[in-house]
């Protein structure tokens, strides 16, 4: 009996031979709980669409900067990829800016992810106000600052007192973040990230020219179609201190449009998920990994500050390109598929290597973006979650943190948190026992009185 119900603690990352019945039930139940309610989606989308339509109208007629008049919307992110979890409370909106022909210069120290963006030739068009002193390099800082100013003016003129507020600017964020506070539901806070974006139609840069590794999954034809599409750049600088001037004004390459398309047409056979009879569990597995990452970040906000859902999403794409057959992702394979995905993510953390899915030479787990200490902490936290059968998945909003061995943060050895958890459980039992004794005594006293 013990061998049938033992946890995965004795296994290794990705081992699915010892998934206990309890873990199987948890994975299936949690995946159902994460789905969004249609009513919530309809309400949220109505609010967001009204905001964006009003903003586009405002930008179209603004007299401050004609450069921002002719923008178009590109939706991206987890909600539009249909993998958002718990609540529809985060939306990503890319505003495409029309620019002349561009020249890209890769910042070599960042392995193909960050670029200096210049005009091929000088211009007298409105973009000239956002160029550096050489009159050709587009300033990411100037674009972000003007986007913030225009959005702030828009909110003050059209949505003041209607629940929308602008968050403070973050140096490493490309977005203008708006928050909506629902007066009827104070706990319901919704955010919209508005990201100014440059569209480059003349071909992908050399670092991404090979395209994503999807030949066996979606097919060579699909890969060629992706590479023929435009690529986008957002005003995001690298993390780290003492950045060079080029890095401070750099643009990060974005494949959000391709990622959304891969999410939509995710099956090896083109009919996957078109009808109830051929549903798969791919997206539900990603949602579970996103839930786990979100839960860990809630427990350890400082230690795991570099960790984000994009790390899980990248691991997900790598696993899809390896486990290509739709039959491997049938709903009946939910627990096995999730453990395979989690195992891959844990191994990548152990190896300290999670390659960007489109720019294969860039490691998302490398410093300074992901410091070694944070990676060691993540490795230990993932191992502990696996050994304890994912306690972070058991409640929607985890709050009680597991206490890791501080020495283990330097050396990626197992967290010695199990003993502390057991000890805390015993201490709670003692408290409960004393409470029972006190209550009984008081009851007896009342009887005699």
Question: How many beta carbons lie within 10 A of that of residue 75, not counting itself?
Answer: 16
Q: State the residue for tokens 């993510």.
A: 345
pLDDT of residue 425: 39
Rounded CA separation 359/354 (Å): 11
Backbone dihedral region for residue 135 (phi beyond 0: left; psi -120 to 50: alpha; all else: beta): left
Where along the chain do its domains lie? 1-33+266-415, 34-258, 421-448
Rounded CA separation 217/317 (Å): 10
80, 85, 86, 87 alpha-carbon torsion, rounded to 10°:
-20
pTM score of the predicted model: 0.84
Rounded CA separation 214/218 (Å): 5
pLDDT of residue 277: 85
Tokens of 381: 């936290």
Bridge partner list, 96? 72, 197
pLDDT of residue 63: 83
Tokens of 68: 């921002």
Residue (of 365, 369, 361) closest to 207 by Cα position = 361
Q: What is the CATH number that goes with domain 34-258?
A: 3.30.460.90
Q: Is the dihedral of CA 133, 137, 141, 147 positive or negative?
A: positive
pLDDT of residue 202: 84
Spell out where 219-315 has E strands: 231-234, 251-254
Rounded CA separation 280/176 (Å): 36
* Average pLDDT per block of 10 residues along the chain, 449 residues long: 37 76 95 92 94 96 88 94 94 94 92 95 91 95 96 93 91 94 78 96 91 95 94 93 92 96 91 89 97 97 97 98 96 96 98 97 95 98 96 66 40 38 40 49 48
pLDDT of residue 440: 47
Residue 273 · residue 20 · CB < 8 Å = no
DSSP type of residue 118: E
Tokens of 104: 């890209």
pLDDT of residue 275: 86
Taking domain 1-33+266-415, whether its CATH number is 3.40.50.2300 is answered by no
Buried b (16+ CB within 10 A) or exposed e, 13-52: bbebebbbeebeebbbebbeebebeeeeeeebeebbeebb
Rounded CA separation 84/86 (Å): 7
pLDDT of residue 186: 66
Rounded CA separation 294/86 (Å): 11
pLDDT of residue 77: 93
Residue 258 burial class via C-beta count within 10 angstroms: exposed 0-12, middle 13-18, buried 19 and up: buried
Tokens of 432: 């409960």
pLDDT of residue 435: 52
Rounded CA separation 317/87 (Å): 23
């Amino acid at each position: 009996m013990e061998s049938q119900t033992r946890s995965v603690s004795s296994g290794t990352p990705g081992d699915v031979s010892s998934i206990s019945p309890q873990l199987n039930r948890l994975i299936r139940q949690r995946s159902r709980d994460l789905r969004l309610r249609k009513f919530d989606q309809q309400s949220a989308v109505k609010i967001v669409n009204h905001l964006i339509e009003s903003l586009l109208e405002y930008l179209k007629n603004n007299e401050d900067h004609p450069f921002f008049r002719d923008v178009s919307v590109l939706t991206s992110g987890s909600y539009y990829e249909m993998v958002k979890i718990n609540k529809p409370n985060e939306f990503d909106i890319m505003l495409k800016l029309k620019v002349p022909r561009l020249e890209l210069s890769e910042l070599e120290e960042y392995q193909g992810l960050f670029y200096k963006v210049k005009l091929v030739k000088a211009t007298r068009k409105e973009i000239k106000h956002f160029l550096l002193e050489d009159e050709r390099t587009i300033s990411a800082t100037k674009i972000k600052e003007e986007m913030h100013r225009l959005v702030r003016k828009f909110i003050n003129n059209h949505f003041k007192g209607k629940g929308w507020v602008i968050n403070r600017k973050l140096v490493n964020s490309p977005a203008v973040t708006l928050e909506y506070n629902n007066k009827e539901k104070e706990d319901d806070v919704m955010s919209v990230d508005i990201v100014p974006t440059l569209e480059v139609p003349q071909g992908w840069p050399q670092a991404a020219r090979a395209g994503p590794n999807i030949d066996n999954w979606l097919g060579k034809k699909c890969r060629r179609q992706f590479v023929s599409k435009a690529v986008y750049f957002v005003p995001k600088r690298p993390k780290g201190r003492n950045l060079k001037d080029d890095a401070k004004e750099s643009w990060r390459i974005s494949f959000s449009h391709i990622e959304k398309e891969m999410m939509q047409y995710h099956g090896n056979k083109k009919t996957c998920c078109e009808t109830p009879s051929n549903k798969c569990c791919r997206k539900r597995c990603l949602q579970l990994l996103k839930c786990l990452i979100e839960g860990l970040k809630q427990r350890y906000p400082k230690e795991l500050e570099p960790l984000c859902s994009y790390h899980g999403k990248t691991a997900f794409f790598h696993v899809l390109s390896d486990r290509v057959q739709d039959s491997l992702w049938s709903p009946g394979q939910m627990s096995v598929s999730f453990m395979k995905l989690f195992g891959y993510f844990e191994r990548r953390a152990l190896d300290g290597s999670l390659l960007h899915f489109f720019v294969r030479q860039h490691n998302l787990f490398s410093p300074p973006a992901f410091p070694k200490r944070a990676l060691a902490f993540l490795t230990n936290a993932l191992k502990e979650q696996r050994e304890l059968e994912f306690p972070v998945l058991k409640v929607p909003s985890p709050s009680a943190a597991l206490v890791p061995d501080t020495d283990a943060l330097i050396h990626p050895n197992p967290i010695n948190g199990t003993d502390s958890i057991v000890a805390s459980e015993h201490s709670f039992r003692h408290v409960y026992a004393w409470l029972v004794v006190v209550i009984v005594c008081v009851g007896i006293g009342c009887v005699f009185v």
